[in-house]
Chains A and B, each alone.
Chain A
């Protein structure tokens, strides 16, 4: 697998705070109750690449965007 994920962010316009990512890693993904969106806590330990990709793949709205070191979008691949 390697450490191919360079950057991960949540598209807050798409996010519906459904809880899928939060239920998988409640430390890295945190709910912003005010805006009712999920946000990333960059100070927390990043899940490994495989888990992160799996979580991004499960996101029902494709709001979790992960990029490789060249800045190319890996997921969602739409």
Chain B
């Protein structure tokens, strides 16, 4: 059974997003890391890069696949998880905690409302998640 925390929002590409005093922390879901298998590399953009909602911001590599990472919201990247360079397995071990990927200063508050709720995301993955 997948772990889908109720206080987060989600994308159909399996990223989670968390509000933190006006900023948005981003990672991939428990379901995503489970589907990928052992994560061996995470390619993240530099701080200061601008991302747009639904556009790719990086790439996650596992032993069996390479997947694009999609931004849940638009804005400027203010923080990236540099620790993943040395310990990419953190994405598997704690996808919602130490496995976070970036923090965005959002430029369009309305986008937050477009994201899936935990209930919607749970239903989405129950239907196959594609």
Is this pair of chains taken from one and the same complex? no
